[in-house]
Amino acid sequence: MPLSDLDSRAARGEDKVSTVKLHAVQYVIALIVLILMTGLWRLQVLGASNYRVLAEANRVRKVPILAPRGKIFDREGRLLVDNYSSVAAYLLREQMQNPETDLPMISVGLNIPIEQLQYTLRKYKLAPKYQPIPLKQDITPDEQAFIEAHRNELPELETIEEQRRLYPRDGFASHLIGYVGEVSEQMLNQERYALYSPGDVVGKSGVEQSYDALLRGVDGSRDVIVNSHGRELGRLGEELAKPGQDIRLTIDLDLQMAAEKALEGKNGAIVAMDPHTGEILAMVSRPNFDPNQFAVRLTRNYWNQLLTDPEHPLLNKAIQAQLAPGSTFKIIMSVAGLEEGTAQDLKVNCTGGADFYGHFFKCDARHGGVNIYNAIPLSCDIFYYTLAQKLGIDTIAKYATELGLSQRTGIDLPEEASGTMPSTKWKMKNFHDKWYAGETISVGIGQGAVAATPIQMARALSGVASGGALVRPHVLSMDQIPESMRQAYVEAFPGSGEKKVSMRAENWQIISDAMAETMNTGTASLAHLDGVDFAGKTGTAQVMSHDALARSGGGKKTQPNAWFVGMVPRRNPDIVVAALIENGEWGKYSAKLAAQVITAFIDKQRKKDNNLRVAEVKPKPTEETPAKPEQKPEQAPSAAVPEKPRSISGAGN
E strand intervals along 548-598: 561-568, 575-581
Instruction: Give the pLDDT confidence of 443-500 residue by residue, as tens digits.
Output: 999 999 999 999 999 999 999 999 999 999 999 998 888 888 888 888 889 888 889 9
pLDDT band at 627 (very low <50, low <70, confident <90, very high): very low
Which phi and psi (to 5°) does residue 312 adopt? 55, 65
The average confidence (pLDDT) of the chain is: 84
Q: Which helix (H) or strand (E) holds 272?
A: strand 268-273
Query: Interhelix angle for 330-339 vs 505-520, to 10°?
Result: 150
Q: What is the pLDDT of residue 265?
A: 92
- 578-600 average pLDDT score: 94
Q: Which helix (H) or strand (E) holds 517?
A: helix 505-520
Q: How large a percentage of the chain has pLDDT more than 70?
A: 85
Query: Residue 223 — left, alpha, or beta (φ > 0 → left; ψ -120 to 50 → alpha)?
Result: beta
pLDDT band at 55 (very low <50, low <70, confident <90, very high): low
Tell me the whole-structure pTM to 2 decimals: 0.80
Report whether pLDDT(506) > 90.
yes
Q: What is the pLDDT of residue 193?
A: 80
Q: What is the pLDDT of residue 258?
A: 97
Spatial contact of 421 and 400, defined as CB atoms under 8 Å apart = yes
Spatial contact of 460 and 403, defined as CB atoms under 8 Å apart = yes
More confident residue, 21 or 136: 136
- 140-144 average pLDDT score: 89
Dihedral sign for Cα atoms in the order 109, 112, 118, 124: negative
Considering only 327-336, 388-397, 642-651, which range has the smallest mean pLDDT?
642-651
Q: What is the pLDDT of residue 103?
A: 87
Distance CA 440, CA 450 (A): 10
Spatial contact of 462 and 567, defined as CB atoms under 8 Å apart = yes
Distance CA 132, CA 112 (A): 17
Considering only 68-72, 185-189, 338-342, which range has the smallest mean pLDDT?
185-189
Instruction: Give the pLDDT confidence of 233-290 residue by residue, as tens digits.
Output: 667 777 888 999 999 999 999 999 999 999 999 999 999 999 999 999 999 999 999 9
Domains (range + CATH), the chain:
61-162+217-248 (3.90.1310.10), 253-306+318-481+494-605 (3.40.710.10)
Pairing between strand 201-203 and 180-182? antiparallel
Considering only 114-128, 320-334, 504-518, 543-557, which range has the smallest mean pLDDT?
543-557
What residues contact 319, with CB distance under 8 A and at least 6 apart? 271, 409, 411, 413, 415, 416, 417, 453, 454, 455
Report whether pLDDT(56) > 90.
no
Spatial contact of 167 and 180, defined as CB atoms under 8 Å apart = no
More confident residue, 280 or 153: 280
Distance CA 608, CA 319 (A): 31
- 559-566 average pLDDT score: 94
The closest alpha carbon to 74, from 474, 472, 475, belongs to 475
Report whether pLDDT(623) > 70.
no
pLDDT band at 615 (very low <50, low <70, confident <90, very high): low
More confident residue, 615 or 398: 398
Report whether pLDDT(187) > 50.
yes
SS3 165: strand
DSSP H helical segments within 296-436, as ranges? 300-308, 317-320, 330-339, 372-378, 381-391, 393-402, 424-431
- 327-347 average pLDDT score: 96
DSSP-assigned letter for residue 643: P
Q: What is the pLDDT of residue 436?
A: 94
pLDDT band at 4 (very low <50, low <70, confident <90, very high): low
